[in-house]
Amino acid sequence: MPDTDALLEVRNLRVEFHTRRGVLTALDNVSFDIARGEILGVVGESGAGKSLTGTAIIGLLEPPGRIAAGEIRLGGRRIDQLDDDAMRRVRGKEIGAIFQDPLTSLNPLYTVGQQLVETITTHLPLSNAQARERAIELLESTGIPAARERIDHYPHQFSGGMRQRVVIALALAAEPHLIVADEPTTALDVSIQAQIIDLLKGLCRDRGAAVMLITHDMGVIAETADRVAVMYAGRVVEIGPVDRVIRAPQHPYTRGLMGSIPSIGDKSRSLTQIDGSMPRLNAIPPGCAFNPRCPQRMRRCSEERPDLMPADGTQAACWLYDKVVP
């Protein structure tokens, strides 16, 4: 049953790409919720489907990609079936997006002020003068020094960290309920990463917004998220409270991810290596997609695909936790 307290509800989402060689399923039966004021971290290797999930939610899938099944609801309203014009009104107003490379997210031909004012006036009933004042407030709130002067600067006149703050200001311009942040700290140095993380946490605390934080960095997840969803080959293989997933991962893939992180001060422990690589979309194995790389695989793992099931404080898609003997 849908969670009535959830702001975002994703149910059984499947994304397909129709190619000359057939239909490729990039996301299969992906389900999760995000509540108001909550940060959900989405983590996994490259190719796991993290960014594609965010793209589907924002409504920016391009042909030949399409949502083939499932539904996406925002505040109880279904948005995956909206036409382009209706979805364009949802983006910015109800859903804000922060992308990995801030330089490609900003138009180099316009000042940051012009881009902010255009976004604000598009979604809010404000005059240009009022929108400019709001833009200055947004830049100040994201930590841009001398915002009243810098609002008339072009993107190339800002450092990488400052550009990312401008992108966050753009994402907040129309006071959206949901922020989809796709690798927002990857291109930044460690000190700037910490500042951006604080901004995201403050965003949830002060505005009650929900954040979907997509990253490959478990350190960022541990520092920022309330819950974490681990993805593999287009499916959610484990989801639960971030402390529980990090300290006691249940799915063998999650254990492998956590074991590959160096431990400060522990020089005796060797790092875990997950043999093999993420399967290609046209070569996803039957049963559990992780079974060729799993040290705990059973015969059943290569024959039947498990759904998420209770697993000691989290939910894991693994036959190790099946209570029913086949």
80-89 pLDDT, tens digit each: 999 999 998 8
pLDDT at 268: 59
Distances in whole angstroms, Cα of residue 226 to Cα of each of 35, 90, 178, 210: 10, 25, 15, 11
pLDDT at 191: 74
For residue 57, what is the enclosing H or E element?
A: helix 50-58
Provide the 3-class DSSP secondary structure of residue 105.
helix
**How far, in Å, CA of 52 to CA of 73, rounded?**
17
Radius of gyration of the chain (CA): 21
Looking at residue 61, what DSSP letter applies? -
**Secondary structure (DSSP) of 134-197:** HHHHHHHHTT-TTHHHHTTS-GGGS-HHHHHHHHHHHHHTT--SEEEEESTTTTS-HHHHHHHH
**How far, in Å, CA of 221 to CA of 104, rounded?**
24
CB 13 within 8 A of CB 30: yes
The tens place of each residue's pLDDT in the chain, 326 residues long, gives 344 478 999 999 999 999 988 899 999 999 999 999 999 999 999 999 999 999 999 999 999 999 999 999 999 999 999 999 999 889 888 999 988 777 788 999 999 999 999 999 988 899 999 999 999 999 998 888 999 999 999 999 998 888 988 998 898 888 899 999 998 877 677 777 787 788 788 877 887 889 999 998 888 898 899 999 999 999 999 999 999 999 999 999 999 988 887 766 666 567 778 888 999 999 999 999 999 999 999 999 999 999 999 998 999 999 999 876 55
pLDDT in tens, 109-145: 999 999 999 999 988 899 999 999 999 999 998 888 9
The residue assigned the tokens 């703050």 is 165
CB 40 within 8 A of CB 229: yes
What number of residues does the chain have?
Answer: 326
pLDDT at 1: 37
Tokens of 39: 């940060």
CA dihedral 248, 253, 254, 255 (to 10 degrees): 40
CB 244 within 8 A of CB 314: yes
The pTM assigned to this predicted structure is 0.89
